[in-house]
Structure 1
């Protein structure tokens, strides 16, 4: 039995500095020294193990078992989701239906900056709402490459876009976890997050067109950016506060896309295109074809143009995802999936107590029927029927999808292993307690705690599971609303999605740039910090008489 000691050195500041070593190692090697993500992740894991063993006194067997537990969790929480999401995409590429989908998006606007908003921001938010787990980054990045953006820029756009919808991603799973962990109302958390993240939604489309086309792009396409951002923001606020936080992103995503379509009927950018764009003649690495790429060439339908049936089939896989996930949220269906498709067990060999003497949560939940990845796999099977794809061809495509990720798989396993060594040894809680010592100024740092959690775990839900109780405890100590600080944990965490190593690995793997995670990290790190500062100031103001009227 290992009992956590959150201040092993006798000085909380010293303990926190040591606890931060694995995160510093990971980020410095990745962003500063340009190490490949798999080696930076492995080095961070070694550092976490070293701190756990020599500072926190965690037994070697428990430390290694914690790493194995984290790695096993990543299989269901990230890999199973991402493999199936990209598998569905690859199926549409092989059949030529992705070419139809690409042309359909291009028909909305011939300007790549506007296309980036529709695909990365609106369509990406829909995928985040339904699946999460890095799938919107992977799918949207390859779609942008197919439309002509160079791979690195496409990956950066997809990562930055996957911010505003994350707090309500996976049908509100991060919000649900806040309620489950703290015992407070998830609806209140959803309403509070709906008074924070919509502010980000207004600015994100401007950042996207800036990445694609620079300041000139912002000047020439600001009406589209403003339309998408405001529409998404208003819908996110309205649904989170007055309807259902679980449906927030679905309707916000659809509404923003429709708004852009309507805008483009009466407005066009001053100058089409985007400086530095690759142009649609350059096939993306992911699709594999050097001469004739099915992502670009017409493989289905009439050569004179896509029929309505062609377009419906091209959108069918994503419509299937929407339907499958919507059905899975019906209470009767959800209860059946839980009763018949969940196997839980205590992870073998892990015996850990919190400082209060309670057993740490080391239960592995194998949700083999209702998990996001499983529902995506079912959607893929239905896609086979709709697109008339043979089983052998589908199996070969699945194998190719797994090979496509390569070293990214190792990165994800290492980073999840690192996060659970830090969590179960007590390192994460030490960092949180140290930040909580800021007193009333903790309101300014509350989003930073969530940001650190997502940077390590890669998921907003994971960060909420780690730090929700810490946020509530800190709120009570300084006399602030626990709903405010709990929501701030999730709202602050969304900005770290773009810099978390596993999402960087997913992004580079999707566009064929495995090994260039450090370059991508530097492309998006500044935006992550800038948006985090905005959220910190907002939460701090919400804790003061200036904006305390916004608190639930």
Structure 2
């Protein structure tokens, strides 16, 4: 059997070696930002360059290099793409049933104050959509709703993008963290716990920040109690779910619980100085929505919560393992050897691929979708149409994700990621503790997705942590937190938001609006990471192998 012993400094100069290893990333950046290529094209040529570097510079056997590509691509398809497809299918069923409009209406009738409505729509409902479907839809839907309230289209798009910062770490049913767990080998629940411990300051600040941008300190003063109810119910639920249940339901539980608590609070508390964009002063004649219709409208996502909770229990994890199919691709079994300084005992890299036929969360979402079809009495033809639309719309994004994951695996198996990590480790633990989230920030700017950023840079963060003798969990979580801030300046997110509010061709205006706030949040993320590492290391979960 042919063995490949990883080399980490092929040019005997770690910075030169790191520069060459980073060329695929530079190419990806140039392809997206300068050449304006489509994501799948940029990802494909990035993979090709990475393969060439692996074979020529790192002397990785051709067979191993190609099989590393397929290992990554298959991981991108299952379980990652499977979750995406089922989640968007569930959302489309809700829309086509007509009940999605009732769901939206049930939110906008909570209070007449437009400041609180903006927070409920952009943050709470946007978080709910992020947890259910993600991938640009939350910003598009909430921005359009805010324009309907009377907001300036630029502000509607900007507020939606700022609000999307809070849930982006967990994305659609935990995909960003699940994907990182797949590529790094760290338990998704441990990563979720670490991210949850880093987010409270950011999550608490978002509703206050948006109201400040709308109506200054006066607006915060006049809505202070409702803002506290929303912020603390949201943040506490986010923290507890991330720590106890794992990443899949964080966005959904935090949004739903926050909406419920806010509705109950506003039943008894009335805002004295109501802020309206339309100048309306008398309220109370809004049409009432029946509780039965509201429950039916929310039923797809109630099913989603129920089945994902079931799927994350030890019962499924234990008794569904019989359906797991584990295998090695040719040339990869025990054939890639990690060497000093990454491993002192020359251990083979784990390259087993596991196909989880039942345990993959996508099946739980599919069952929720089937229950939705029966509950909302959706015709079979409409359900089939929704499935076809889902596949048609997502085929290229899924291929892009598969290619990005393939690059991540090539970079990991060939040691390109290790080279970049070793170079970054030379900056020292103090500097990198602050710098770590910025890598995730750049990754989301490049890819438009926290998931893709985590796939792109997860291994690099892991290797760097190893070299600095710092628990890898904190840097992996920092990559995710940095990616949240990057969502505000992602060209893809900006394009989606502008399209939703009629600002096509004015994307530069939206970028100018959001970039300063993105920079504020990435600095905050860097400070949080540095403080945890240097002052509160007890917050970093211990990984029990």
TM-score category of the 2 structures, normalised to the smaller one: 0.7 to 0.9
Distance 1:448 1:204, change over 3 A: same
State the alpha-carbon separation in 1 of the partners of residues 130 and 481 from structure 2: 15
CA gap of 1:37–1:490, structure 2 versus 1, over 3 A, is: closer
Matching of residue 93 in structure 1 with residue 75 in structure 2:
no
Contact 1:412–1:505 under 8 Å retained in 2: no
Cα deviation digits, residues 404-438 of structure 1 (max 9, x gap): 34643443333333333323322222222211112
Which residue is 2:459 aligned to?
466
Task: Show the counterpart of 1:355.
Answer: 338
Conserved in 2, the CA contact under 8 Å of 1:324 and 1:375?
yes
Q: Secondary structure at the match of 1:108?
A: coil
Matched, 1:433 2:457: no
User: Which piece of structure 1 moves more, 229-238 or 414-423?
Assistant: 229-238
Give the whole-Å Cα distance in 1 for the aligned partners of 2:498 and 2:348. 39
**Residues 43 and 112 (structure 1), Cα distance of their counterparts in 2 relative to 1, 3 Å cut:** farther
**Corresponding residue SS for 1:57:** coil
Contact 1:317 1:379 in 2 (8 A): yes
Paired position in structure 1 for 2:234 = 232
The counterpart of 1:532, out of the listed 522, 529, 532, is 522
Cα distance, 1:61–1:189 mapped onto 2, change above 3 Å: closer
For residue 11 of structure 2, what is the aligned residue in structure 1?
9
* Equivalent residue, structure 2, for 1:328: 311
Distance 1:194 1:206, change over 3 A: same
Q: Deviations over 1:131-163 (max 9, x none)?
A: 6xx637435633553564699987766665444
Q: Deviations over 1:300-326 (max 9, x none)?
A: xxx975322211111110111011111
Does residue 346 of structure 1 match 2:328?
yes
The answer to whether the Cα contact below 8 Å between 2:420 and 2:460 also exists between their aligned partners in 1 is no
Please state whether the residue corresponding to 1:145 is helix, strand or coil: helix
Change in Cα spacing, 1:12 to 1:415, as seen in structure 2 (3 Å) is same
Shift in Å at residue 267 of structure 1? 2.1
2:371 alignment partner, one of 369, 378, 382: 382
- Summarize deviations over 1:189-229 as a string: whole Å, max 9, x none: 6665443211111233356568xxx5548864674655433
Unmatched runs of 5 consecutive residues or more in structure 1: 276-302
TM-score normalised to structure 1 length: 0.75
Q: How many residues align?
A: 513
What aligned pairs does 1:186-197 form with structure 2 within 5 A after superposition? 192-197=194-199
Q: Is the 8 A contact 2:135 2:172 kept in 1?
A: no
Q: Secondary structure at the match of 1:347?
A: coil
Mark the runs of 5 or more structure 2 residues left unpaired by the alignment: 280-285, 340-345
Match of 1:285 in 2: none
Residue 541 to residue 139, structure 1, CA distance change in 2 (3 Å): closer
Deviates more, 1:399-408 or 1:137-146: 137-146
1:142 aligns with 2:147: no
Tell me whether 1:368 sits opposite 2:354 in the alignment.
no
Q: Does 1:421 align with 2:410?
A: yes
Give 1:269 shift.
7.2
Change over 3 Å in CA distance of 1:55–1:521 after alignment to 2: farther
Do the aligned partners of 2:404 and 2:455 also contact (CA within 8 Å) in 1? no
* Alpha-carbon displacement from aligned partner over 1:152-195 (angstroms, at most 9, x marks no partner): 98776666544444556677787789999999998876665443
1:324–1:379 CA contact under 8 A, matched in 2: yes
CA contact (8 A) 1:125 1:253 kept: yes
* Maintained 8 Å contact 2:143/2:501: no
The equivalences for 1:437-452 within 5 A come to: 437-441=426-430, 442-448=432-438
- Distance in 2 (CA, whole Å) between partners of 1:230 and 1:499 is 27
- Measured in 2, the distance between the counterparts of 1:255 and 1:178 equals 27
Shift of 1:13: 0.9
Q: Quote the Cα distance in structure 2 between the aligned partners of 1:503 and 1:346.
A: 37
After TM superposition, the structure 1 stretch with the greater mean CA deviation from structure 2, 520-529 or 95-104, is 520-529
1:196-235 to structure 2, matched below 5 A, reads 196-206=198-208, 215-216=214-215, 220=219, 223=224, 227-235=229-237
Could you tell me how far apart the structure 2 residues matched to 1:318 and 1:450 are? Answer: 29
8 Å Cα contact 1:192-1:551 kept in structure 2 = yes
Superposition pairs of residues 485-500 of structure 1, within 5 angstroms: 485=475, 487-496=477-486
